Amino acid sequence: MKKIALLGSTGSIGQSTLSICEAYPDRFLPVAFAAGSNVELAFDQCLRWHPQIVSMATEQHAEALSHRLEVAALYDTDVVYGTAGTVQVATLPDADFVVSAIVGVAGLEATYAAVLAGKTVGLANKECLVAAGDLILAAARERGVALLPIDSEHNAVHQCLRGGAANEVKQIWLTASGGPFRNTPLADFANITPAQALKHPTWVMGQRITIDSATMLNKGLEIIEACRLFDLPPAQVRVTVHPQSTIHSLVEYIDGSILAQISVTDMRLPILYALSWPERMASELTFDMSALSQLDFQQPDFERFPCLRLAYEAASTSQAHCIALNAADEVAVDAFLAGKLSFVGIPRTIEHVLALTIGGSPASIPEVLEADHAARELAAEIVAKQ
Ligand SMILES: NC(=O)c1ccc[n+]([C@@H]2O[C@H](COP(=O)([O-])OP(=O)(O)OC[C@H]3O[C@@H](n4cnc5c(N)ncnc54)[C@H](OP(=O)(O)O)[C@@H]3O)[C@@H](O)[C@H]2O)c1
């Protein structure tokens, strides 16, 4: 039985992880949760799973959850909060597998702590690797910790890499659906509303990643994530737009063979793969090959989606630029969702922050967080001026 600490239990990935635990009760048991502000759902999850510990984002949310648990006479769950709380969840001695699915840099310290504590980590949170991939990967290598990608593209690459040796890889291809605005005239981009951007054509996900998919910054973060995870330079991480989202990514080998991973567009499959690795477990998440009629591929349009270009530039410039890219985007997406910034203002803000970023490579997590904080302040100033 694998005992699981779930960071981001109330989110889209968190809930999909719990549905896998539900489907395989004799294999996976969630024992600890970290959530943000959704007290109602965290309470329901406590009722169902009786975790040893739950962390909420703030003291106020933790108090609200404690109160609900007391009224329900549930006394077997400790309630903690804040970053320290997420670290307690990630390092719970009884847990052997940590699913990292808090959105944004808020998940960084807990993910790093999980690696330091020697836990196997299933990584959905790409922002951790974008901001501090070198530190996390170095700590994982030192401790022999497995980092298993849950992001569907990286999970697909992980699977395809089983087909050859690292020095036989020529390049990898990340597929991108192209988001809802793949065919929208560029002239209409300035008028795109949050409601339009939140309608992803193929995936149901949290708000930030859905907006990031619409700007294709999500693919940009994935390029950096792939460079870190698979130890490849940006030039060997390519993007192809594949609107059907049937192939989740591909690995091209030096002999000319290209291996692709095909499956349903359902995040439960990469989650199951990570949780059960190195085994494969039988599932009902089957793909109907007889219904497959068309696979389209297009070059990404860097003019329509400047975030892709910005991500390649950040990846080729410095770690500080990768941190700034992500931090500026988090601020810009919040502002867009709040109606304070236009859709085209998102790449504009990121580009401006990157131009003002001084290169470098933070040597510790506190230094990463400092760089992240500085980039956020800069982004907030730039957003305010727009
Ligand atoms: N969804 C997908 O299909 C998908 C695919 C690939 C990768 N990912 C990555 O996986 C991560 C999660 O994505 P998602 O779509 O599941 O996001 P989501 O639905 O927005 O969920 C985010 C989770 O993080 C929690 N959270 C937010 N701020 C927090 C804080 N300060 N402290 C503790 N918990 C906090 C939220 O709690 P509350 O809801 O309680 O506030 C929620 O549980 C992201 O990094 C995303 O890029 C997602």
pLDDT tens readout for residues 51-108: 999 999 999 999 999 999 999 999 999 999 999 999 999 999 999 999 999 999 999 9
Tell whether ligand 1 has an atom less than 6 A from the beta carbon of residue 16.
no
- Percent of the chain surpassing pLDDT 90: 97
**322-364: pLDDT as tens digits:** 999 999 999 999 999 999 999 999 999 999 999 999 999 999 9
What are the extents of the domains in the chain?
A: 2-149, 150-300, 318-386
The pLDDT of residue 204: 78
DSSP H helical ranges for 167-305: 194-197, 207-215, 217-230, 268-276
Band (pLDDT 50/70/90 cuts) for residue 206 is confident
Nearest CA to ligand 1 atom 28: 36
CATH number of 2-149: 3.40.50.720
Give the E-state strand segments of 8-77 in sequence order.
28-34, 53-56
CA of 129 to the centre of ligand 1 (A): 15
Q: Can you tell me the distance from the alpha carbon of 19 to that of 41, in angstroms, rounded to the nearest whole number?
A: 14
Average predicted confidence (pLDDT) for the chain: 96
Contact indicator for 62, 56 with CB cutoff of 8 Å? yes
Q: Can you tell me the distance from the alpha carbon of 301 to that of 78, in angstroms, rounded to the nearest whole number?
A: 49
**125-145: pLDDT as tens digits:** 999 999 999 999 999 999 999
CA of 89 to the centre of ligand 1 (A): 16
Between 349 and 206, whose confidence is greater? 349
What tokens were used for 308?
């892709």
Tell whether ligand 1 has an atom less than 6 A from the beta carbon of residue 210.
no
DSSP state letters, 194-232: HHHHT--SS----HHHHHHHHHTHHHHHHHHHHHHHHT-
Mean pLDDT confidence for 247-274: 97
The pLDDT of residue 47: 97
Tell whether ligand 1 has an atom less than 6 A from the beta carbon of residue 130.
no
CATH number of 318-386: 1.10.1740.10
CA of 105 to the centre of ligand 1 (A): 10
Tell whether ligand 1 has an atom less than 6 A from the beta carbon of residue 306.
no
From the alpha carbon of 209, which atom of ligand 1 is closest? 47
Tell whether ligand 1 has an atom less than 6 A from the beta carbon of residue 127.
yes
Q: What residue type is assigned to position 272 of the chain?
A: L
Q: Identical fold at 2-149 and 318-386?
A: no
CA of 192 to the centre of ligand 1 (A): 24
